[in-house]
Chains A and B, each alone.
Chain A
Amino acid sequence: MALPHTVGIPAVRARASLWRRARTRETTTALLFLLPLFVLVVALIVYPVYRAVWLSLTDKLVGYPERFVGLRNYAYLAQDDTFHAVIRNSAVFTVGSVGLKVVTGVLMALVLNNVIRGRNFFRGLFLLPWITSTVIIALTWRWMFDAFPGRGFFNSVLLDAGLLRRPIAFMATPEGAMMAVIVANWWRGFPFFGVSFLAGLASIPRELYEAASVDGASAWRRFWHITLPGLKHVMIVTTLLSFILTINDFNIVYVMTRGGPGTATQVFATYSYQVAFGQLRWGRGVTICLFVVPILVLGIVMISRYLLRDRK
């Protein structure tokens, strides 16, 4: 900040008040700039969240006025075996697909990093899954795994190659169905990781690699000690974002399996929808999702702290 340079105490006081006035002006401007965001957030996020919390303490059933019932919904869910399955499934789904996305993202970044000609072209091409509608992706992968003879891609190929005599019903078992939804989510998401990591690679100073080569470090050691640490920041940020999006996912599971077979792929979002719109129990439906919020908030706060520490 370019402040007039003066000496002496009156000068300091003058400087301080100028600075304070400038600060106040900035704060006002900031408030103005932030106003639309603020209005949106309060009216359409904070207020509904507040109502969601309230709703979770009632027995709201569609068509009837709600009655306050305290923590009854929470107590019910705590002993509901379906909800336990939902928690397990959501954890497996999220950790599984995010983990796969990270690894694939690194591989994609490494490959693209070595492509000189046409790198932008390939990078753009590889981002295609990420921009496609998830409903379409879910339907596509449902079909890819289909056991209907001749329609499922994997079964067609395996049958035609003579490796199978009968089609495999990939999505008919809990494990298979979970794998299928993870694959769909992974396919959709890994390009985002790849592109971010690719940019991350670009910011790692070449000198580090050159120095390591001179020292005789193998490719693996260079990767482990230079590349990975260099990517740490972008990895954490991207992983966090993806974690949040994935744990809240509705589209992929809903369209691919509706949470089945049985409750094998039922996750928070789909179970909440079923309870609220299938069984018409809004109080309980909202409570299902509220369970996720504390974990999320904790995770976010931790990461934001990390991000801020790094920024400084």
Chain B
Amino acid sequence: MLDSRISRRSLLAGAVGTSALLTLPRPAFPAVKKGTSLKLWILKTYVEPTNKAIEASAQRWAQKNGASVTVEYFTFEDMQTKYVAAIESNSTPDIGQLETSAPARFAGMGQLIDLTTFARQIEGQVGKAPASVTAVTKVGDKVYSLPWYVMGAFWYVWRDVFEKAKVKMPTTFEEARQAAAALNRPKDNFYGMGQSWNRTSDGYGVMQSLMYSHGVGWAGKDGKYKSIKTPAMQNVMKWATDIYKDGVQPADTLTWTGSGNNENFIAKNIAQTSNGPSITFALENALAKATDAKDRKAKEEALANHVALPHPAGPDGRRMWAIAMSFGIFKTSKDPEAAMSLIAHLLSPEETVTVMKDSYGQFGPVLDKARAASKDYFNKNENYRTFGRAAEWFAPTGWPGPTTAAAAEVQASNVLTDAPAKVIVDKWSVDQAIEWEDKKIKEIYDTLRG
């Protein structure tokens, strides 16, 4: 028995080894040269324990391989600037964590190494991600980054408020709008919804979820510009502006920063809002810091009463804009093989689960092996189960096409949120706003290169 097992294993090993030799000039993971030093750029999120956990994971690899890793951080705010600056001054890191549109952008500039073969190789070890997510990592047939997790957006509601008013929890955007009207109590400074069209992901992210769920995309499946002057887009814009016209939101909603909706939701000024898991994190944290029994009770109630629903669906389905984070290797790296080894380590199910345990659910792992391994963690409660499903609903920027540099620029140009703002603030008509938005998008596609 033992012999046959061993011989089967050695057969498999031989097969794997041979195929590896056939696809790469060198074996996939050579012993990492001792003393190799890598620079790793990671997204710093509001959940500090996660940041530390990722760093610890990288250091474990470093220890195991006698190498060293320097971890540097960027935030949602300076993500663009930092990479832009590095590219222009040729000081890119070895490995960079890339957000949704970055692989396409940077690959288009010739900054990233082709990881197609590497991706195939480690599939056995780390598993596969859903097609919607891998679309982000590819340009054409070539893979330029390895996906790790998505930070999804969820529809937060206060259960007790809904139950008291006997309103059903919304599953679609239309239901959400109706619920907002039903729950609105401006006299008590309580509002039915808090959706800001600001220049953060709370704004342009939800706008994209809204559009994609209505089947509206500014690019076709081929990634080329497609006009948004359609009846479906009319409905999108109406929804986006009606929630302001109907007075179901606090007066300053449009000027919120990224934290505006969090704060208003936690303070129970609004009944519904879209957000990443950070609201749950904030409530869990608040409970941990409770000062006395009365305070503790209030915090426990808040935690129990808040629900993170799956992001609303539209007439065309449930598509959730999210930030897909993946790892890419820059061409300036002096030791790409060591970089690959580090990535494989970070992406492995064991390491992913370890990191996730400190993530307060903000991490939605996309590789199926990691998802399987983390099932228990996400089974904590209903909210966490929803968090864990993020990858199912993911729609990339530029849906239904791939995330091209042009699609990324559309998001970065703020045109998606400036358009409804023009209706709300400058009193344009919905048609005018759509016309303007369409023109701006077309301009971007017409004048972009690469």
Footprint of B on A, CB under 8 Å?
Answer: 59, 61-64, 81, 146-149, 166-174, 177, 257-258, 260-264, 274, 277-280
Task: Specify which chain A residues have a CB less than 8 angstroms from the CB of B251 in the assembled complex.
Answer: 147, 166-169, 172
A to B CB contacts below 8 Å, 21 in the list: A62-B84, A62-B88, A63-B105, A147-B252, A148-B263, A148-B264, A166-B186, A167-B189, A167-B251, A169-B250, A169-B254, A169-B255, A172-B255, A173-B425, A260-B254, A260-B255, A261-B198, A262-B421, A274-B414, A278-B412, A280-B80
Q: A172-B255, A260-B199, A260-B255 are in contact. Are A62 and B418 (CB under 8 A)?
A: no
Bitwise, B57-86 to A at CB < 8 A (1) or not (0) is: 000000000000000000000001100100
A170 to B252, CA, bound (A): 8
Task: Specify which chain A residues have a CB less than 8 angstroms from the CB of B436 in the assembled complex.
Answer: 81
Give the residue of A81, A261, A279 whose beta carbon is less than 8 angstroms from that of B421: A261
The reply on B286 being an interface residue by CB < 8 A is no
Apart from the given pairs A168-B251, A172-B252, A174-B426, 12 other A-B contacts in the complex at a CB distance below 8 Å: A62-B109, A63-B111, A149-B267, A167-B251, A167-B252, A170-B252, A172-B253, A260-B199, A262-B418, A262-B422, A277-B81, A278-B413
Q: A62-B84, A262-B425 are in contact. Are A171 and B189 (CB under 8 A)?
A: no
Q: Which 4 pairs, one residue from A and one from B, show the smallest C-beta to C-beta distance?
A: A169-B252, A63-B109, A169-B251, A262-B421
The reply on B380 being an interface residue by CB < 8 A is no
A61 to B450, CA, bound (A): 10
Closest to B83 in A: A62
The reply on B106 being an interface residue by CB < 8 A is yes
A279 and B426: CB pair below 8 A? no
Closest to B419 in A: A262
The reply on B272 being an interface residue by CB < 8 A is no
Task: Specify which chain B residues have a CB less than 8 angstroms from the CB of A278 in the assembled complex.
Answer: 80, 412-414
In which size bucket is the chain B interface? 35 or more
A261 and B412: CB pair below 8 A? no
Closest to B111 in A: A63
A240 to B299, CA, bound (A): 55
The reply on B164 being an interface residue by CB < 8 A is no
CB distance from A83 to the nearest CB of B (A): 13
The reply on B100 being an interface residue by CB < 8 A is no
Task: Specify which chain A residues have a CB less than 8 angstroms from the CB of B409 in the assembled complex.
Answer: 279-280
Task: Specify which chain B residues have a CB less than 8 angstroms from the CB of A264 in the assembled complex.
Answer: 425
Closest to B106 in A: A63
Task: Specify which chain A residues have a CB less than 8 angstroms from the CB of B105 in the assembled complex.
Answer: 63
B residues 263-306 near A (Cβ < 8 Å) are 263-264, 267, 269
Highest count of chain B CB atoms <10 Å: which of A63, A170, A171, A274: A63
The reply on B87 being an interface residue by CB < 8 A is yes
A167 to B6, CA, bound (A): 74
Task: Specify which chain A residues have a CB less than 8 angstroms from the CB of B88 in the assembled complex.
Answer: 62-63
CB distance from B330 to the nearest CB of A (A): 12
B425 and A261: CB pair below 8 A? yes
Task: Specify which chain B residues have a CB less than 8 angstroms from the CB of A149 in the assembled complex.
Answer: 189, 267, 269
The reply on B449 being an interface residue by CB < 8 A is yes
B109 and A64: CB pair below 8 A? yes
Bitwise, B240-267 to A at CB < 8 A (1) or not (0) is: 0000000000111111000010011001
A177 and B255: CB pair below 8 A? yes
A64 to B409, CA, bound (A): 15
Highest count of chain B CB atoms <10 Å: which of A261, A278, A280: A261
Task: Specify which chain A residues have a CB less than 8 angstroms from the CB of B425 in the assembled complex.
Answer: 173-174, 261-262, 264
CB distance from A280 to the nearest CB of B (A): 6
A279 to B422, CA, bound (A): 20
B250 and A147: CB pair below 8 A? yes
Closest to B198 in A: A260
A61 and B449: CB pair below 8 A? yes
CB distance from A166 to the nearest CB of B (A): 6
A168 to B88, CA, bound (A): 44
A169 to B251, CA, bound (A): 5
Closest to B420 in A: A262
Task: Specify which chain A residues have a CB less than 8 angstroms from the CB of B250 in the assembled complex.
Answer: 147, 169
Closest to B260 in A: A148
CB distance from A71 to the nearest CB of B (A): 15
CB distance from A173 to the nearest CB of B (A): 7
CB distance from B248 to the nearest CB of A (A): 14
Task: Specify which chain B residues have a CB less than 8 angstroms from the CB of A263 in the assembled complex.
Answer: 418
Closest to B263 in A: A148
Task: Specify which chain B residues have a CB less than 8 angstroms from the CB of A63 in the assembled complex.
Answer: 87-88, 105-106, 108-111
Task: Specify which chain A residues have a CB less than 8 angstroms from the CB of B264 in the assembled complex.
Answer: 148
Give the residue of B84, B263, B421, B450 whose beta carbon is less than 8 angstroms from that of A277: B84
A171 to B106, CA, bound (A): 37
B255 and A257: CB pair below 8 A? yes
A280 and B84: CB pair below 8 A? yes
Highest count of chain B CB atoms <10 Å: which of A61, A167, A257, A260: A260
A264 to B418, CA, bound (A): 10
B449 and A64: CB pair below 8 A? yes
Task: Specify which chain B residues have a CB less than 8 angstroms from the CB of A274 in the assembled complex.
Answer: 414
A258 to B257, CA, bound (A): 10
Bitwise, B429-450 to A at CB < 8 A (1) or not (0) is: 0000000100000001001111
Closest to B252 in A: A169
A237 to B196, CA, bound (A): 43
Task: Specify which chain B residues have a CB less than 8 angstroms from the CB of A148 in the assembled complex.
Answer: 252, 260, 263-264, 267
A62 to B110, CA, bound (A): 12
Closest to A82 in B: B418
Task: Specify which chain B residues have a CB less than 8 angstroms from the CB of A177 in the assembled complex.
Answer: 255
Closest to B81 in A: A277
Task: Specify which chain B residues have a CB less than 8 angstroms from the CB of A257 in the assembled complex.
Answer: 255
A299 to B11, CA, bound (A): 82
Task: Specify which chain A residues have a CB less than 8 angstroms from the CB of B253 in the assembled complex.
Answer: 169, 172
CB distance from B174 to the nearest CB of A (A): 26
Task: Specify which chain A residues have a CB less than 8 angstroms from the CB of B426 in the assembled complex.
Answer: 174, 262
Q: A260-B255, A278-B412 are in contact. Are A64 and B189 (CB under 8 A)?
A: no
A257 to B88, CA, bound (A): 28
Task: Specify which chain A residues have a CB less than 8 angstroms from the CB of B449 in the assembled complex.
Answer: 59, 61, 64
B80 and A277: CB pair below 8 A? yes
Task: Specify which chain B residues have a CB less than 8 angstroms from the CB of A279 in the assembled complex.
Answer: 409, 412-413, 444
CB distance from B23 to the nearest CB of A (A): 29
Highest count of chain B CB atoms <10 Å: which of A167, A171, A262, A263: A262
A45 to B109, CA, bound (A): 30
Task: Specify which chain B residues have a CB less than 8 angstroms from the CB of A174 in the assembled complex.
Answer: 425-426
Closest to A147 in B: B252
B residues 14-28 near A (Cβ < 8 Å) are none
A64 and B255: CB pair below 8 A? no
A261 to B189, CA, bound (A): 22
Task: Specify which chain B residues have a CB less than 8 angstroms from the CB of A64 in the assembled complex.
Answer: 109, 449-450
CB distance from B162 to the nearest CB of A (A): 22
Task: Specify which chain A residues have a CB less than 8 angstroms from the CB of B199 in the assembled complex.
Answer: 258, 260
A168 to B250, CA, bound (A): 10
CB distance from B407 to the nearest CB of A (A): 13
Closest to A175 in B: B425
